[in-house]
Each structure stands twice: as structure tokens, then as C-alpha cells.
Amino acid sequence: MAKKGQVFQQYTDDFKLEAVKDCIEGSPSYEVVATRLEIRNSTLSLEQVRLLDLLSTKGALTFTEITELQGGHKSATSNRLKKLIQKNYVQFEQKENDHRIKHVVITVKGLAATKLANELSYKYL
């Protein structure tokens, strides 16, 4: 969460496009790209962006549905969701009539991040 008086790093569109290009062209990980471009506080991995995109298009999904749609392991989905929840990109909501079922819902901050990632991707492509 931002603190009063905190100054955020501003990046140019060209710089952002270079980062997206590196990710698309097969850099091993987001961290490698962030290190190479000297990006501080890299916030989202490619897998996290894909999860946010999935939630923005499909709507609220259960943990199992997300794991099945992404074709990964439950542990990977769990780790991804924990990080996104900590950063307030997603949240859990319980079903009204059955409190055993929790849905993962994208937040406004998550929608904004997804929109930015999509704009940068489309601009590059």
C-alpha cells in the first residue's frame, strides 16, 4: 500500500514496450527482465497477469476452476493467488447460500493492472 509522500518510479512507453517485448520473446522469467532493465519492485509475473486476465474475462472462479483452466498444479495456483491477494489484485468471496464455496474475484486494482498489461501487449504486437 502506498504511503504518504511516497514517490513512484515513472517509466516511458518505450521502456514499457521493451519490457513487454522481452517477456514475449521468451525471457526465462519476469525477474530476469526486471533485473536487466533495472526495474525496482517488479510486481506481477507473467503467470499472475494471465490469471488476472482469466478472471477479468471469465468472472468469479473457484480455486479448482482456475487450476483446471490454467492447466497447472494446485500449489502453483495457491502461491499465485496468495501473492495477488497480498497485493490487493484479487479477493475471495463466499457464496451466499453455501459458505463452503469460495470464489476468487478480481478487484478494481486487478482490473486496472490487467488493462495496462493488455494495452502494452497490443501496442507491442
Overall number of domains in the chain: 2
- My answer on whether 20 and 75 are in the same domain is no
- My answer on whether 37 and 87 are in the same domain is no
Separation of alpha carbons 100 and 62, rounded Å: 11
Q: What is the pLDDT of residues 65-80, one digit of tens each?
A: 999 999 889 999 999 9
Q: Is the pTM of this model over 0.85?
A: no
Residue 112 belongs to domain with CATH number: 1.10.10.10
Residue 124 class from Cβ within 10 Å (0-12 exposed, 13-18 middle, 19+ buried)? middle
Q: Which residue has the higher pLDDT, 32 or 118?
A: 118
Show the domain range for 36. Answer: 11-42
- My answer on whether 87 and 62 are in the same domain is yes
- My answer on whether 51 and 94 are in the same domain is yes
- My answer on whether 114 and 53 are in the same domain is yes
Q: Is residue 1 part of a domain?
A: no
Q: What is the pLDDT of residues 91-107, one digit of tens each?
A: 999 888 888 889 999 99
Q: What is the pLDDT of residues 7-31, one digit of tens each?
A: 666 777 777 777 777 766 766 565 6
CB 4 within 8 A of CB 108: no
What are the backbone dihedrals phi and psi of residue 102, each rounded to the nearest 5 degrees, phi first? -115, 135
